[in-house]
Chain A
């Protein structure tokens, strides 16, 4: 599932970026990050909340952001629920 498949309002966890894109990582699109889909633009782009930032991505980017449903309660602001990676 990619974030392009998500309806506005859904909260998902980032699993993997299916492209070489360092810029996405620097902007916080790292595995485990929680995304909230805010809106869909008229031309296939999306507006998502990641942490406390709002990012607009086009259709192409939306299709490489692979996500999974978040189990249980989520906090769009943080990655506290992230498994393993933290020291």
Chain B
């Protein structure tokens, strides 16, 4: 029946919907341990990135062919330092593992930084889920004088340990065999012994064993989580009280009684590190060179120094900005004119047999819409490649460290500087770049403020309007728009953090600086492709649909003339604009011409000037500095609508244009990155803010 059909249509090209019963293997690990390289090596290009059902956290999934023709689905969990969650990403990792939604866990462990990686392993062992260690960065560690004995590590940790090199594929078969072995004969690992905490853990574990609300959660993990204050939902009060009592006892037995900052969580963390160091002592041989400065330390002495750090950061930022603007622009324009020119005329002549409406639908609607989607591809590719390079080389962490102070004064997390910077070129890649923030709530918050960044498409309109209305002050007005844009980003960010995002609190910066690495072409290409595909899949439908709708509206004649033949001021578009125009009356530009510009500006700001020109039926001015006839007509309109105050009305027009929805592609990308509900919320908020601000500008300006 229809259900079967639907299933087959979802299968198709993505081919990741694994048949029911396929074992699920989670790939876990600290950030910066080469986890994404491992994931790419396991699944190739067949991966698929998307929100975990019911969560705002993106995870990549893909099929993994194990030895013996077995199949498994790998879930690439967000990088995490701990199973006691600090962010929604870490919450997802913990939830999937402790509730047994995965059949086995592969944990990527960095051979060059074993102590901290073993801390996470200790917590994974406490969950009792089957675990295999994939030992990464073995060569890098060896080059630094650290030799890890995998057999000794496996013996001390009590789990299989497979040294791998995902780039060359070495060890991947052995990893598959180890996982297949665990899936065939699952057995719970032995949790690390936590010294003085043991009797207390045993007592608490016994106390929660028969509590129905906590049924199905691994006992040992539950005991540690309760002591750490990480209480599962529905924890009965009696259990909470027991955990609190035992926690106090543990703190008193292990630390200074007068130190009120020493608690059970601290004691457990401390004991896990004791275990980690014991395992480390038994399995790692250190040369004398291991404790000397690494090459990374030497590079960092320059890249993070007081003298050179900020100039180098500014140079990198300038490069990113130019690449996403000046480098991308000609490519974008080239693709756009290819669609407007040869492809459109080619399609027109190929469709000469077709009735006018069909020709229009295909050429102006579909081809126009597809052209707009495709014209974004160079920009997005450049953006995604740069993002991957900055991330994988290790520089992004340094940049975040250097930009921390500035971003903090804006009330945003330090890594947000990259999306914000890119947003001044174009909001679309900026939204995609929010992925580099480690915290999902921060990503949502940033996704809501990015549209207030004044992108280059809006600049064209500022220049036109400013040169018409402000003469020699034009430059100042355009600059003022950018200042206002930054003020709005900060103010809206602040507003959101005081209301919907009260949980996004200022976090002091503790940031790992991973060793510098040369990014590989393969990983960069794979990451870029996955991200680009995600963008195209979500954005294309919305964009093609909207462009088609605009074409349809401008082709329908209200006075009954033939389809597409009537004058523009007689079209359904003009009708809608006339209906919308009264909304702009208090703002000083309640006329259908500017209203139509705002309506098409919802689709793309590039269309605003063209719409103005079209509705006044003059050709688009090639030189914005001499607006000529178009300028005179716009001026006349604003003179009339503003009751003799065209200047504040023009300012109000610009402020509205800056603050409301940037374009359909931004909406489509928001939809993909922050979800439907918040996207709609964001659109509403922008319209309200734009209207109120423009109202203020006009009404106050009128009095001056």
Interface residues of A (CB under 8 A from B): 16-28, 30-31, 33, 38-45, 47, 49, 51-58, 60-61, 75-80, 85-87
The one of B291, B398, B512 in contact with A55, judged by C-beta atoms closer than 8 angstroms, is B512
Interchain CB contact under 8 A, B81 and A19:
no
Closest B residue to A53 by beta carbon equals B113
A42 contacts across to B, CB distance below 8 A: 306, 309-310, 402
Bound Cα distance A59, B144 (Å): 30
Interchain CB contact under 8 A, A78 and B269:
no
The one of B114, B281, B300, B309 in contact with A52, judged by C-beta atoms closer than 8 angstroms, is B114
B290 contacts across to A, CB distance below 8 A: 52, 77
Interchain CB contact under 8 A, B304 and A39:
yes
The one of A22, A47, A53, A86 in contact with B274, judged by C-beta atoms closer than 8 angstroms, is A86
B397 contacts across to A, CB distance below 8 A: 56
Bound Cα distance A44, B82 (Å): 28
Bound Cα distance A55, B116 (Å): 12
Interchain CB contact under 8 A, B401 and A41:
yes
The one of B86, B309, B401, B515 in contact with A22, judged by C-beta atoms closer than 8 angstroms, is B86
Interchain CB contact under 8 A, B261 and A54:
no
Interchain CB contact under 8 A, B304 and A51:
no
Chain B, 109-165, CB within 8 A of any chain A CB: 112-116, 119, 144, 146
Bound Cα distance A47, B294 (Å): 14
Interchain CB contact under 8 A, A27 and B404:
no
Bound Cα distance A49, B112 (Å): 13
The one of B114, B116, B291, B296 in contact with A76, judged by C-beta atoms closer than 8 angstroms, is B291
Question: What 17 new A-B contacts, CB under 8 Å, besides A41-B304, A55-B512?
Answer: A22-B86, A22-B269, A23-B82, A23-B86, A25-B266, A26-B119, A27-B116, A38-B300, A39-B304, A49-B297, A52-B115, A52-B290, A55-B513, A58-B510, A61-B509, A85-B274, A87-B278
A24 contacts across to B, CB distance below 8 A: 510
B contacts with A, residue count (CB < 8 A): 55
Bound Cα distance A17, B261 (Å): 8
Interchain CB contact under 8 A, A20 and B261:
yes
Bound Cα distance A66, B494 (Å): 33
Interchain CB contact under 8 A, A79 and B273:
yes
Bound Cα distance A63, B665 (Å): 45
B398 contacts across to A, CB distance below 8 A: 56
List the 8 closest A-B pairs by CB distance, nearest first: A25-B269, A58-B509, A56-B401, A42-B306, A26-B82, A43-B405, A54-B513, A51-B115
Bound Cα distance A80, B280 (Å): 11
| With known contacts A60-B508, A87-B274, A47–B261 Cβ distance under 8 A | no
- Interface status of B522 (Cβ within 8 A of chain A): no
Minimum distance in angstroms from A42 CB to a CB of chain B: 4
Closest B residue to A74 by beta carbon equals B291
Interchain CB contact under 8 A, B280 and A78:
yes
Interchain CB contact under 8 A, B291 and A27:
no
The one of A44, A52, A57, A87 in contact with B113, judged by C-beta atoms closer than 8 angstroms, is A52
Interchain CB contact under 8 A, A30 and B306:
no
B306 contacts across to A, CB distance below 8 A: 40-42
| With known contacts A22-B269, A52-B146, A28–B119 Cβ distance under 8 A | yes
Interchain CB contact under 8 A, B512 and A22:
no
Minimum distance in angstroms from B514 CB to a CB of chain A: 8
Interchain CB contact under 8 A, B401 and A28:
no
The one of B228, B254, B266, B273 in contact with A28, judged by C-beta atoms closer than 8 angstroms, is B273
Minimum distance in angstroms from B307 CB to a CB of chain A: 8
Interchain CB contact under 8 A, A22 and B265:
yes
Interchain CB contact under 8 A, A39 and B274:
no
Bound Cα distance A22, B28 (Å): 20
Interchain CB contact under 8 A, B261 and A18:
yes
Bound Cα distance A87, B273 (Å): 12
The one of B81, B405, B509 in contact with A27, judged by C-beta atoms closer than 8 angstroms, is B81
Annotate B240-281 by CB proximity to A: 1 below 8 A, 0 otherwise.
000000000000001000010100011001100110011011
Interchain CB contact under 8 A, A23 and B510:
yes
Chain B, 475-523, CB within 8 A of any chain A CB: 508-515
B401 contacts across to A, CB distance below 8 A: 41, 45, 47, 56
Closest B residue to A87 by beta carbon equals B195
Minimum distance in angstroms from B491 CB to a CB of chain A: 24
| With known contacts A41-B401, A45-B401, A57–B116 Cβ distance under 8 A | no
Interchain CB contact under 8 A, B86 and A38:
no
Interchain CB contact under 8 A, B116 and A51:
yes
Bound Cα distance A26, B31 (Å): 13
The one of A33, A55, A77, A80 in contact with B511, judged by C-beta atoms closer than 8 angstroms, is A55
A52 contacts across to B, CB distance below 8 A: 112-115, 144, 146, 290
- Interface status of B286 (Cβ within 8 A of chain A): yes
- Interface status of B301 (Cβ within 8 A of chain A): yes
Interchain CB contact under 8 A, A55 and B273:
no
Closest B residue to A57 by beta carbon equals B510
Annotate B283-320 by CB proximity to A: 1 below 8 A, 0 otherwise.
00010001101001100110011100110000000000
